[in-house]
Chain A
Amino acid sequence: MKVLIVEDEIELAHSMLKYLQNQDYSCELAFDVEEAQEKMALSNYDCIILDIMLPFGSGLGLLQSLKNSGKENGVIIISAKNSSDDKTRSLNLGADDYLAKPFHLAELSARIQSIIRKRNVNSSNSIHYKNLNVNLQSKEVTVAGKEIETTNTEYSLLMFLLLNKNKVVSKNAIAENLSGQSALYFDNFDIIHSHIKNLKKKLGTAGDYIQIIYNTGYNLN
C-alpha cells in the first residue's frame, strides 16, 4: 500500500515515515505543494496525508485539485489549526478524515488503515492476527473460532492494538483513541490498565499476544 505524506515540518514528516514504513506501507514524502503535485501526478496512492499550511499553497487547495482530477484515493487532513471551520471545510471538500496536531503516530496509522479498508471494495470484512479474528461488521471477536463477548470499550481497544500490531502503543494514545479526548483529564492510567487486563483475561490464550511494556505501553505481538 502506498502512502504519500505531504508535510513541511521535516522532523514530523520523518517520524511519520519511520513509523509507517515498517507497517507494510511504502511511504513517500513531499515537503511543499509543488512537490506534492508532481508526486500525485506521477503515481497513485492509497492514502494521502495532507497538512493544511504548506509552502506555496494550502493542503486544502491540493485536496480540491485532487478531487477535481477524479483520483480515488483516501485523504487525511492533518492540521495544527484545530479550528472547526477547517475540519468542516476539509470534510466538505471530500477528505476522509481530519486529525488535529499533535497526534499519536498510532492514531494516524489506525486511521490510515480504516480509510484504506473502507475504500477498498475487495478488502475482507475481518482482521485476523494468528488465531484471533475480528469481524468489522458484526463486531464479533473470535479466538480459534470461539466467540468472545466484549464490551464496546474492549472492542475499540482491541481494534486499536490490532491496527498497530507489532508496535508499542502508549497509554496516552489509547486514552485519546478511546475518548477522542486528551488523556490528561483522566485520574491516572490505571483505567487503561484495568481495561487491558480485562481484555487479556477475556481473550484467554490469545490474551498473551498483548504484552505490557513496563506499565507505559502495550504491544500486540
Chain B
Amino acid sequence: MKLLTYTSKQYLWLSALLIVLSIPAFYFVVNSLFLNATDQALESQAVLVPKYINEIKNPAELDLWRKLDKNVEIAIFDKNHFKAAPFTSEIMNPETKDFQSYRFLQKKAEIFGIKHTITFKVSLVEKKQLLKSILIVQISLLLLIFVGFLIINRVISNKVWAPFHQIVAFLKDYDLAKEKELTEEELEIDEFNDLKFAIKNLTERTKTSYQLQKEFTENAAHELQTPVAIVKSKLDLMLQDKDLSNNQSVLIDQIYYVLQKLSDLNKNLLFLSKLENQQFQFEDNIDGVATVSTVIESLNFFAEGKYQQLLFPRPEPVFFEGNQSLFDQLVQNLMINAIQYSPKGSIVNVLLTDESLTFINEGPELGFSEEKLFSRFSKTVEKDQKGNGLGLAICKKIAQVHGFEISYDYQNAKHHFSVNFKQKTEA
C-alpha cells in the first residue's frame, strides 16, 4: 500500500466517523433549539390569556374563541391532565389519518368563576423536514470530503512526491562505477530535502570507500607481485650461469614452480576480490565464437603436447553483452580444466549455441559433490592437483556476475561443464 493511500485512508475513516457522530449531535442541538423557539412562541401566546379572558363577557363569546382559534383548547380544569411545562404529543389527523407531532402549553385560568385549562398547540411537522435536510447536508459533506481527498491525493502524488520518486529511481539504478549524481536543486518538501542530503552523504561515503578498496586491491597487488617479479628475474639470470650444476638447475626449477604458484594465487585472490567488489563493467559486445576460437588457439599447444584434440565445430555467430576480459578468463579456465583432467590422446569437445557453452571431456567420475567442485580451495581432486583450487571458483563467480549459470554433469564417462546464458536473471 502506498504511504499516501494509507494516510488518506486513515483520514477518511476519521472524517466518516466524525460525520456519522455529528448527525445525531446536530439533530439534538437543532431539535432543542427548535423546541425552545416553539415554546417561546407558545408562551408569548399564553401571556395574552388574562387579557382575552377580561374581554370575554359571556359563554357565547368563549365558544366563538374556541371555534375561531383551532390552536387553542379550553376545558374544565382537571388536575390529572394538567402539565405546567410544555410537552410534545402525537395527535391523529382526521383528514390524513396519520399521527402528527404537536407541542403543547397549558395554562390555568378562571373563567366565569370556574377553573379552566387553556391549552395552546403548535404542529411540529417541520421538525421531520429538518432531520431530512440535516442528513442530506451531512452526507453530501462526506462525499465532498471523499472526492476532495481523492483529488488532493492525485495532485500530491503527481507533484509533491515527484522528487521522492526521482530519488528512488536514482537509488534503483545506482552504480558505483558510474559517475551519476543526484540533482542539486532545493526541494519544496523539507523531509525530501533531508532524505536527498542523507543519500548524497551515503553515496559519497560509499564511493570513497569503494575507491579506497579499489586502490588497496591494486596496491596490494603491486606490493605482492613486485618481490615475486624480482625473484623471478633473479632466477632467470641464475639460469644463465655457465657453471650451473644439474642439482642447482633442478632447484631453480622447483623455485620457479613454487614462485609461480604464489604469484597465481595472489593474482587469483585479487581477481576474486575485484569480482566481489563489482569493479567490472558489462558493456562489451562479446563475440562468442571468436572468443572461444582465440582461447583454443592459445591453448592448443597444451593439448598437442598431450596428443589431444580440441574440437570446436563452428556454430552460428553468438553475441551477448558482458565483460570481455572476464569472459576470456572463464573460457580459458574451463578449457584448461578440460585439457588437464582428460587422458592423453583423448578428444575435448567444445559446443557453443545461443543458449550455452559446453566443454565435454573424458575422465573418471568425481567422488564429490558439484558444490565442492566450484568452491574455493577444496582439496578434492587428486593429491598432485596442479591448480590452486581457485580456477573453477573464479569461473562460477564470473558466470554469476554475468547472470549466467554454470553447471556440471557426468554422462557416458564424460565430464560436461556448461555455461548457460539463458538463465540470465539480470545483466
Residues of A within 8 A of B (CB): 9, 11-12, 15-16, 18-19, 53, 79-84, 101-106, 151-153, 156-157, 167-168, 170-173, 178-187, 190-192, 194-195, 213-217
Contact = CB atoms under 8 A, between A and B. Distances in A.
Contact of B236 (A19, A84, A178): A19
Contacts of A214: 244, 246, 249-250
Nearest to A102: B229
A171 B252 CA distance: 11
A180 B335 CA distance: 14
Interface string B225-258: 1101111111111011000101001101100110
Interface residues of B, number: 52
Contact of A168 (B239, B259, B270, B300): B239
Q: Which of A15, A102, A103 has the most CB of B within 10 A?
A: A102
Contacts of B302: 178-179, 186, 191
Given A104-B236, A184-B386, A195-B305, A216 B229 contact: no
B340 interface: yes
Contact of A180 (B222, B259, B264, B298): B298
A213 B249 contact: yes
22 contacts: A18-B237, A19-B237, A79-B222, A83-B218, A102-B228, A102-B229, A102-B259, A153-B304, A170-B236, A178-B298, A178-B301, A181-B336, A182-B263, A182-B267, A184-B261, A184-B387, A186-B386, A190-B305, A191-B301, A191-B306, A213-B239, A216-B252
A82 B261 contact: no
Contacts of A83: 218, 221, 274
B237 A15 contact: yes
A82 B340 contact: no
B332 A181 contact: yes
B10 to A, nearest CB: 53
Contacts of A101: 225-226, 228-229
B221 A80 contact: yes
A191 B308 CA distance: 11
A130 B270 CA distance: 46
A80 B256 CA distance: 18
Contacts of A185: 336, 340, 386-387, 391
A12 B261 CA distance: 20
Contacts of A184: 257, 260-261, 264, 386-388
Given A106-B236, A185-B391, A190-B305, A82 B298 contact: no
A195 B388 contact: no
Contact of B233 (A16, A80, A153, A167): A16
B41 to A, nearest CB: 97
Interface string B360-386: 000000000000000000000000001
Contacts of B257: 172, 184
A65 to B, nearest CB: 22
B269 interface: no
Given A11-B230, A83-B274, A173-B236, 15 more contacts: A12-B230, A15-B237, A80-B221, A80-B226, A81-B221, A102-B229, A102-B263, A153-B301, A167-B240, A171-B253, A172-B257, A191-B306, A192-B305, A214-B249, A216-B249
Contact of A12 (B233, B239, B340): B233
B305 A170 contact: no
B131 interface: no
Contacts of B336: 181, 185
Contacts of B386: 184-187
A194 B246 contact: no
A104 B253 CA distance: 13
